[in-house]
Structures are given as structure tokens and as C-alpha cells.
Amino acid sequence: MKEAPASPPAVVLGIDDLRPLPRATRIARTSREGVRLLEEHRDSFIDELWLDHDLGGDDTVMPVVTLLEEAAFNGRPFRIGAVFVHSANPIGAATVVRSLTRWNYRVQRATA
């Protein structure tokens, strides 16, 4: 009897300066690393993307959000099953949710 091929493991990316994010298969700790991480996955499906707004010091996730927005604006949005925003900054989190929802990404507030 032939076995069905195993499905590939889920791709769960996290961008957060502090949290361990145990479900994540890869974690970026800065916005610059986050942009690079998404660019590495540009042509593949991302099952989940976890975003923290404040990334230490003056760094925020907004460069990552801008990358996602520009991709959608150019007609090539990233293929992401769900985006979870898990920030302790309610105004920053609301900004991320509003920005990405506008471009039809599936986004929700969550706790990490």
C-alpha cells in the first residue's frame, strides 16, 4: 500500500524583539530582520505571521507593514493565511491591524 506524501510543515514567522513565540518556525528580532525574513519567503505560502509593534528602542514593525502594503498595492500581496498582531501597545497594534486589513490581509489581535 502506498502512503500519502507528508504535507510540508507549517511556515510560522514571528517578528518580535522579546517573546520566544514557540509556534514560530523562524523569528526576526528587528524590523530589518523582519523585512529580510519576508523577502526570503516572498514566493511561498506563509501559514501564520506574528507581529509585535514595538521592537526595542525606536524600532517598530512598520517597515514590515510597509513592505506588505506595497506588495498588495503592486498587485502581488504576500500569500499569508493569517496575520496575528500581539503587541502590548494598543495604538500601535490598532494601526497595524487597520493598515493590513485595508489591503485584504486576514489580520486579528492576539496574545502571544
47 in any annotated domain: yes
pLDDT given for residue 8 in this prediction: 79
Tell me, yes or no, whether 102 lies in a domain: yes
Q: Is 53 inside a domain boundary?
A: yes
Residues spanned by the domain of 37:
12-109
CATH number of the domain enclosing 52: 3.40.50
Total residue count of the chain as it appears in this document:
112
Identify the pLDDT of residue 6: 72
Count of the separate structural domains present in the chain: 1
pLDDT value for 1: 61
Regions in the chain scoring below 70 on pLDDT: 1-5, 112
Q: Is residue 3 part of a domain?
A: no
